[in-house]
Structure 1
Amino acid sequence: MAIVDPTTKQSPAYIRSTSWADGLRGIAALFVVASHTCLSFATYLIPPSFAETGKSILFQRPFFRLVIQGQAWVAVFLVLLGFVNALKPLQLARRGATSDALATLSTGAFRRKGRLVFPAALITFLAWLACQFGVFQLGRRVDAYWLRATSPKPSPSLITAVADLFRQIAGTWMYGENAYDQPQWALLHLFRGSLYVFMTLLALVNTTPLFRLCAQVVLYSYSWATLDGTIGTNIFAGMILAELSFYNLTALRPRALFKVLPYGLVTLGLYICSYPDQYADQTAWSSQLATLAQTIFPENANVSRYYASLGAQMVCFGVMLSPLMRRILSHPILLWLGSISFPLYLVHGPLMRSVLVYLVYLPMTIGFKPALGADGMPDPESYIPTPNPFRLGVILIIFFVFLLYVVQQWTVHVEPKMGALTAEFEKFSRSWGKTAMWTSKEKDGILPISSVKEVSA
């Protein structure tokens, strides 16, 4: 992944027509970090209002509450995954270069899996190591919900610790669960989503663009109806966007409508992305969306995830239709954020449970005495208190600067090594067993050497 210097002015030749996807991905990664911060220090933002009074503060209301809507930004990741992964194969297929499109699909599918699996395994190993040395122990005692809930405890023995490490690495890709780095739950969705792109384009690469588009719409509808609202609808929506990106949609009539439509789609998308995961009945706007969900979503659908996905799709489609929004999202700073988006997603969790916890709570442990329970013993539910908002705000600013620095260093020094490891694994996969005697059986083979045409003749 290329590194973009935010101080360098980008030439029009450098800014690709799809650069906006990188910028939007960077914003999504930043909001995921913001949502985990809010889940730690501002859990009162989860419901859309205070149940006691029925009143809402600013960041509980639509649009502003997107700082805590992490699942909406994960949905953006998935839409952009379908969009970006499908672009080059579709471009080659439209030119008639079917063999090149198939080669691109095969190579891209292999490399993208390595770029997901190897860095995630490395972060899990580092977090596991920190856990076994007790780095996360303080996080288990603090009055910050997300930090406390995602801070694992050390394993009781070395053998158990090693088993736990392999169990959690495998769990990331089997169940979407990782005790050492909880945000990795989304990687299984990204992994499956990339397989959706590969299998769909493998089947449709020889078809006409119109047939492909109709097939993708059918697959989207099937995913919608079968409760695959997190992976299927987002991936196929991204692929539909990729197919439509080859058409000049802004030239359609009435042109006035297509000048206004992108902004309406983005606004509506962000509005429904604001739908709360819990307590939707507390406010009028969320209650209206909950009532609408009974009509537009299939039975037993996860309403909050469906709204997050639908809103993310609207946002991406609206941006694609707007030259102005595409230029804004192609700003050098946003492109830089996009270039570090995946490392930012991976690294922020362990750093929040270690560096941030110590910055915020270590001074608060001085003189801290847990409350006593009815039996006279320290109450295990007595947590180290959070400092006042001003002090917390200053620490958060310092931490976020540190986090971006670490992520940039990871991108410069670690990402290339992950890329080289993926390349070596790819090279190994193409050479392993190539000279083995059993790989080629010229005589008495199971399958006939002659073709069906020769046999029929």
Structure 2
Amino acid sequence: MSNQLKGILDVGEWEGIKPSWKPAPPGRSAGRRLSRLKILIRPFEVTLAKLVPSTTMGERGSVRPTAYLDGLRGFASLLVYWHHHQLWAHSATHQNEIFEDSFGYDDKYHLAAFHGIRTFFTGGHYAVSTFFVISGYVLSAKPLSLIQEQEYVRLGDNVASALFRRWLRLYLPLIAVTFLYMTSWHAFGLWAVNANPKGSWRDELQSWYFELKNFSFIYNLGGEPWPSYHYHAWSIQMEFKGSIIIYTCLLAFSRLTKNARLWCQLVLMFYFMYIADGWFAAMFMSGMLLCDLDLLSARRELPRALEKLWSPKGFIFYHILAVSIYLGGVPSVNADINRIRHSRGWYYLSYLKPQAVFDYKWFYLFWAATLLVGSTPRIPWLKRFFETRFCQFLGRISFSLYLVHGPILWTLGDRLYTATGWYGEAESVHLSRWVNRFPLPKTGPLGLELSFLAPHIILLPLTIYSAEVITRLIDQPSVRFAQWLYRNLSPRPERCGGE
């Protein structure tokens, strides 16, 4: 398994930012300004280059065995973007429940809510669950390969380095993005529905610091599960908790026999899902188990009972994928199990929910994401799709895309939707100059109305471009900083003997 494996929110050693400009002579101020602009122009050029399909067999043949995971992660990030925009715009017309209810609930029949198709409109929860399973897979890939090779010293070094860098890698980009977002309220006088700006920037800075320092401490009890400066960031805390679980289990199971290790993973998955309400931990563990089985399969060391089960004919995995997509479209209006019990196609499935799970959707999404990650590499055309340049590019910027799409939606997005006719009472008061500036008809199927799609002519390219900028200027440097810090705090090889 390659060292280049990357999981959601866990980017490997990215190519460094290499500015192509040189300082101009002191007297050439225009040249200096042009050089500075290249910092912002360069990501745009790279974005276009990444989206151009590869045409050479050499490039296609060099795809890493697990590149599909990066593409799957990237495509899932795009689903999160689309989900949030659908619900944001359609909240103005009180149609959110149509998206999140089952097809035909309350005699409302819309294509956007139909089984399978609904994934492309409100597949955000399905995508986040997939993030967690992928993380469990990639975080454990290298350590598991070392465990199977009985390289226990290298295993300790690998886990120590990964755990040291994990908090920095997850939270530094979030800190930077939320700082820029809250500063924009005061620097540009921006109004946003979910913003509650303080009297001065200094007061805002203090409030921002209090929230972020509490949120970044995963053992903090009470309060909201997300910072008010970025509601989508709740998954980052889950990501860090799941990472600690994975690293702990890797060390705890490292000296066990192969079968015992696999059984312990299964027992923990059962515990997290059926005994404790630890759905996110079960997702991480399922990713670890899938990785362990894939590695064992590659080494031809699968337990006999799993040999036939793990490599059946391809058509079986098409059925598994279909089940995954169906479960991934679980209605999610609220946590009331009676709501899903009266939903078309979910009555009998509702009785499978464990007593321990409070929000039922995560139980079905656990199975949906696990089946998706397990079946994707065994369906050739699907694996090839996630290996395309487009999906690989999305995978590279996925963390930044996840972080920036919210602030852009809450500021510029809200204004553009207001201009095309999607606005509520708050917008009519605070954004009165934007109301119906460019009125467009709400014609078309639900979720594909002309007035909804038009703002994305600006929003989608801007969001992708911004994600590329944040990746290059914040995300990648934070990864390198964490690596640099660990390297410089570790004893140098020549001094190890004396220390």
* 2:122 aligns with one of 43, 68, 72: 68
1:246-285 correspondence to structure 2 within 5 Å: 246=295, 247=297, 252-253=307-308, 257-278=312-333
* 1:355 aligns with one of 412, 416, 439: 412
Distance 1:96 1:25 in 2: 30
1:189 aligns with 2:238: yes
2:215 counterpart residue number: 172
Larger Rg: 1
* 1:235 aligns with one of 284, 301, 319: 284
SS at match of 1:164: helix
Tell me the alpha carbon deviations over residues 408-441 of structure 1, each in whole angstroms, 9 at most, x when there is no partner.
222233333212322343246447xxxxxxxx9x
* 1:85 aligns with one of 126, 139, 163: 139
1:17-416 correspondence to structure 2 within 5 Å: 17-42=65-90, 43=96, 44-49=98-103, 54-66=107-119, 67-133=121-187, 135-137=189-191, 139-140=192-193, 151-174=194-217, 176-246=225-295, 247=297, 252-253=307-308, 257-278=312-333, 286-361=343-418, 387-388=439-440, 389=442, 390-416=450-476
Distance 1:35 1:136 in 2: 24
Report which stretch shifted further, 262-271 or 165-174: 165-174
Q: Normalized against structure 1, the TM-score is what? A: 0.80
Distance 1:282 1:94 in 2: 46
1:147 counterpart residue number: none
Letter in 2 for 1:65: R
Distance 2:144 2:101 in 1: 42
User: What is the CA distance between 1:51 and its match in structure 2?
Assistant: 6.0
1:436 counterpart residue number: none
2:63 counterpart residue number: 15
8 Å contact 1:176–1:186 — kept in the other structure?
A: no
Q: Normalized against structure 2, the TM-score is what? A: 0.74
8 Å contact 2:246–2:284 — kept in the other structure?
A: yes
8 Å contact 2:420–2:452 — kept in the other structure?
A: no
8 Å contact 1:24–1:338 — kept in the other structure?
A: yes
Change (3 A) 1:171 1:418: same
8 Å contact 1:209–1:243 — kept in the other structure?
A: no
8 Å contact 1:46–1:276 — kept in the other structure?
A: yes
Tell me the alpha carbon deviations over residues 388-417 of structure 1, each in whole angstroms, 9 at most, x when there is no partner.
342442221321011111212222333332
Gaps of 5+ in 1: 141-150, 372-377, 432-439, 441-457
Letter in 1 for 2:388: H
Distance 1:327 1:100 in 2: 33
Letter in 1 for 2:147: A
User: What is the CA distance between 1:211 and its match in structure 2?
Assistant: 2.0
Distance 2:243 2:278 in 1: 16
Tell me the alpha carbon deviations over residues 233-258 of structure 1, each in whole angstroms, 9 at most, x when there is no partner.
10000000100112159995489953
User: What is the CA distance between 1:214 and its match in structure 2?
Assistant: 1.2
Q: For the aligned residues, what is the CA RMSD?
A: 3.4
Change (3 A) 1:285 1:72: farther
Change (3 A) 1:49 1:385: farther
2:220 counterpart residue number: none
8 Å contact 1:216–1:236 — kept in the other structure?
A: yes
User: What is the CA distance between 1:73 and its match in structure 2?
Assistant: 0.9
Distance 1:429 1:336 in 2: 33
8 Å contact 1:111–1:422 — kept in the other structure?
A: yes
How many positions carry a matched residue from both structures?
Answer: 413
SS at match of 2:395: helix
